[in-house]
Amino acid sequence: MFANVFSLTNKDFRYKTKKTKTTKTVNNFRVKKFVFPFNNGVALVRDEKYSLAFIDSDGQKRVCSGKIKNSKGWGIIFWRGLLYFFVGIFLYIKMLLMEDKNNERPKEEQNKSYVKARNISYFSNYLLLFAFIFLAFLFGFVVLGFVPNFLSDKLVGEQNYYLHSFIVGIFRTAFIYLVLLVLRFCPFMQSFLRFNLAGQNTLDGQGSRKRPPLNFLNFLVIVCLFSTFVISLICINVSLVANFFINLALFLLLVGLSYEFLVLIALCKWRFIKDLCFITTFLVKLKPNTTQTEVSNMAKIELENGLQNSYSESEVPLSSVFAQIETKLKKAERYEKSDVEWIVANVLNIGRGQVRLVKSISKEHEKEILSIANRRAKGEPLSSIFGFVDFYGNKITVNKKVLSPRMETELLAEEVIKKIKKEKLSSVLDLCTGSGAIAIAIKKNCQVEVTASDVSKSALAVAMQNAEQNDAKINFVQSDLFKAFKKSKKFELIVSNPPYIKSSDIEKLETEVKDFDPKLALDGGEDGYIFYRDIIKDAPNFLNKKGYLFFEVGLGQAKAVAKMMKEGKFVDIKVINDYNKIERIVYGRID
């Protein structure tokens, strides 16, 4: 019954063209994701899967997930509104059952004080429930019953039945809106509204202006106001039992109508129509705090990673750990999704590709992971924390003696490997090798003689260790660029990722670079081009005819380096962008 209520997205509008191409239909309107907020958590739904994340009475973050069976009734107008309505009720009950399950201690741990406290808690909850029922009855009888009728009698009397009913409906709807407005500022209701916006931010992105009118709480508000007005206007009066069932049927019909009304608004292109939704959307959202955002992200990650019905007390859902890391790193403005996966993979001693298969971890692992996340948030690079990086599938040891290879440098290695295989080259020189990452990647993927050089003895020691660990046979030479090479030594390709930061800019770099990478591997001279000029000047003496020269360059340096290469008699010069569309690689061949 509850199925494809979740297969909706604002991007998936479809149009039927039986009579005209401009005819819009709402039959195929689809939304892929929904958020259902609660006072202590949130449920996210995508297609036939849902995840529930909440904070239990002990302050612990809990999560569960599952599937909702398919339904063929979703294509029926009005029926889908009922599905949407009842799914919210279903998930709320599911959350309550999960909370009770998580809060129930094993019998052997139930002492007298625990049982007494639990019974008092249950009694308090039931007492509160009866108090609410009594207040609701009082409110309905006095505020929604007596007062509107009294005011309507004073204004128009009872002679005009329909006008009298219309005014009663207006007053009742206004009273309901005022009550909802007051509730917006009540502490027990604000948690609902904060989780609601936290869920929307999770689906649409932080600060996004996409606040669809089909937001579940907004839908409930519309249903409440619309049904109050219409039922008051029609004013069925047969018998007590008949009135109840007729009004119930009418209410369910209005639930479906309210949904279709919101669909039409979602499809509408007129901005002012959507802006009118602020009248109700204002009532259903408040800025979430960090914990509410974390819980919402936890639900999202659980949904992405797979389905798990529940977790034991000794386990911690990995989605909870992911959400906490994400919060820490985003707050420190150091968030990278790949970093999160790397932290978890290394602590659990598994491959990064296996991380998404893990559903839960021990509390000891959680503590270790969060400790590493704290260090990363303070600016310490993961390569320094773990002492190695994964570069082109190879484990590369790094320390303060060598520059930690970046993801962009993998692209340089990839382009060099492509060129070697295409041109069937036989000899390569990796100039300014540092950790040896580029040379090792080339040797492990090509049948080619590789030489690697660096001016630093300590850097060469690290590079040699990495080559041995990765079973890569490489010739290492200590040299200040080409000074230690005989002019008779020729290569078919030279690749270099030289220092390219201006001397004056080094202190302005991020903490993870300036405090953990050796300055010798960063300092590119006064203008950042000193090594490019020297390499381009001498490289033709060490390249075979039609040999290639490859560079990695810094932001905004590609054009200047390409110009230097052109003036240095290199031809067929190409510039390649990195993953962020930044010009990162420049190469050419000797004429």
Strand partners for 528: none
Does residue 90 sit in the same domain as residue 239? Answer: yes
Amino acid at 202: T
pLDDT in tens, 169-226: 788 888 888 888 888 888 778 888 898 888 888 877 655 455 556 788 889 999 988 8
Residue 385 lies in a domain: no
Instruction: Report the distance separating Cα 555 and Cα 255, nearest Å.
Output: 56
Tally of helices (H runs) and strands (E runs) in the chain: 20, 17
Does residue 364 sit in the same domain as residue 489? Answer: no
What CATH number does the domain containing 489 carry? 3.40.50.150
20, 147, 119, 2: which is closest to 70 by C-alpha?
A: 2
Residue 267 lies in a domain: yes
Q: Which of 326, 349, 378 is the last residue of a domain?
A: 378
Does residue 365 sit in the same domain as residue 514? Answer: no
pLDDT in tens, 536-564: 999 999 999 899 999 999 888 999 999 99
Instruction: Report the distance separating Cα 223 and Cα 340, nearest Å.
Output: 42
pLDDT in tens, 398-407: 887 888 888 8
Residue 112 lies in a domain: no
Does residue 71 sit in the same domain as residue 207? Answer: yes
Does residue 369 sit in the same domain as residue 337? Answer: yes
Return per-residue pLDDT of the chain as tens, 591 residues. 333 333 333 333 333 333 333 334 455 555 567 888 888 888 888 777 888 888 876 667 778 887 776 555 566 778 888 888 888 888 888 877 776 555 554 554 445 544 444 454 455 555 655 666 666 656 665 666 666 667 776 676 666 767 877 887 788 888 888 888 888 888 778 888 898 888 888 877 655 455 556 788 889 999 988 888 888 888 777 787 887 888 888 889 998 898 888 888 877 777 777 677 788 888 888 888 888 888 888 888 888 776 555 555 567 788 888 888 888 888 888 877 778 888 888 888 887 777 777 888 888 888 998 899 888 888 888 888 888 888 888 999 988 788 888 888 999 999 999 999 999 999 999 999 999 999 999 999 999 999 999 999 999 999 999 999 999 999 999 999 999 998 888 999 999 999 887 776 666 666 656 555 566 666 567 788 889 999 999 999 999 989 999 999 988 899 999 999 999 889 999 999 988 889 999 999 988
Does residue 179 sit in the same domain as residue 316? Answer: no
Does residue 373 sit in the same domain as residue 417? Answer: no
pLDDT of residue 493: 96
At residue 470, what are phi and psi to the nearest 5 degrees? -100, 10
Residue 113 lies in a domain: no
pLDDT of residue 389: 86
What CATH number does the domain containing 368 carry? 1.10.8.10
For residue 514, what are the contacts with CB-CB under 8 A and spacing of at least 6? 506, 507, 522
Residue 25 lies in a domain: yes
Does residue 438 sit in the same domain as residue 368? Answer: no
The pTM of the full predicted model, rounded to 2 decimals, is: 0.62
Q: Which of 353, 378, 403 is the last residue of a domain?
A: 378
Number of domains in the chain: 3
The DSSP letter of residue 309 is: S
Q: Which of 329, 349, 378 is the last residue of a domain?
A: 378
Instruction: Report the distance separating Cα 38 and Cα 296, nearest Å.
Output: 11
For residue 120, what are the contacts with CB-CB under 8 A and spacing of at least 6? none
| Cβ atoms within 10 Å of 421's Cβ, excluding its own | 13
Does residue 397 sit in the same domain as residue 363? Answer: no
Residue 300 lies in a domain: no
- Structural domain containing residue 397: 392-590
Does residue 410 sit in the same domain as residue 524? Answer: yes
Does residue 398 sit in the same domain as residue 372? Answer: no
pLDDT of residue 159: 65
**DSSP letters spanning 503-524:** GGGGGGS-HHHHTTS-GGGTB-
Does residue 85 sit in the same domain as residue 234? Answer: yes
Our CA dihedral for 471, 474, 477, 481, rounded to 10 degrees, sits at: -110
Residue 565 lies in a domain: yes
Residue 21 lies in a domain: yes
pLDDT of residue 126: 55
555, 447, 444, 436: which is closest to 492 by C-alpha?
A: 447
Q: What is the CA radius of gyration of the chain?
A: 33
